Structure 1
């Protein structure tokens, strides 16, 4: 009678102890799989900052403006010359002296910082040739009487000078070309790598002056690259690294007109 009851109970509950353990193990594996399948928050990706330097090189006092600046929460620029900015796109600025400048941009995104470094090259301009295309007579550049009669064809030489410590400093004087008539113009003078430009008067510096040599009195100034009431033009071809600037007062028939040709040399 008892054995019959036990058999009937076994039929109703056929799981053994090992079956229970197997069932618990399967449940644990399923739970682990479920945990593993839960996606964690994706890590914050901080992009590397980027910007573009539009030109291969610049010259001293030429405006520099960076472009294509990447997006970020905040910015810190170091231009390599002591100047900084926290703007995304800084205002146009200038380098005052030639050289290589390391520009560092640090961006901040979600509290994380990344930095990129690029180099800006600032070229030095060197004059290699000066042309006299027209000259003034009768001391007009010195405030003389422009209606006075001419004193004949000038004996022309070129002088290049800087201005330091409140005094003119002559750095170059050419040979004299005598009895120069207007039909001999333009008159060309070769010079050897005279630096052009700088903080003082930018491209008007140094001073290129043509004189009429006189025996018994002061030499007469007949053309100059910094004359009032005239016009000036500056041109630089950055592909060839060649350029010129011109200063003119009056006309080609009557006036002070000279052209300085230069080359750009990279640091």
Structure 2
């Protein structure tokens, strides 16, 4: 029983402190060397590299074409247009025989996006979130960032200022990217404000940052873990401290809480169930 008592943490006290401005704080979290061969911090333009496996940037399937495409082994729009005009029997060797015409350079190409038109805070928020997603090995698709930023309202001061209806205005893939970015920013905002997402009895999984499960090398982005099922305050704290210190996956922690809830139900019938020092295994 002494081991159980030792696991019960002392009450946490968070001292009030002066927080730096959100944008300034976030700048301090950025990796200045992030994707040095792709991101140009002076122009705020990202140019995807075909050599980076975490970037959706590939050459057009046509051998002589230098255009970039998002999906591997696919055609650029111009080559696909000419391929469709060919007779079916002439399409077999199209990738090896087609001669692309003259291309007119665009300001921002398929493998690029620019954050230059955005406010400094929004630009920093997007960069931070992208860097965090890199740590999770989420493939960066330049076109999705480009399309998302094009939907942002002019003069936006922060992504947190977007209305609740904004995600509904996005296409499915854009919406998925937006939610992924905001998951990172909500977690960062919690850290910036100095709050502890594990202090309460119901944990928001996307704020706590636990891995989703074994074999899932990414942090959970939804759901909750409910410790209120444990009716004894001391048992709740033991279970929460286990989550804080061991950092199990969300699935493992839920299994632990489920097991602890069985013990909690049994302790309810005991006269001293709320006093851990009085608990014993004697019948």
Q: Which category of TM-score, normalised to the shorter sequence, fits these structures?
A: under 0.3
Structure with max Cα Rg: 1
| Structure with more helix by fraction | 2
| Structure with more strand by fraction | 1
TM-score normalised over the length of structure 2: 0.19
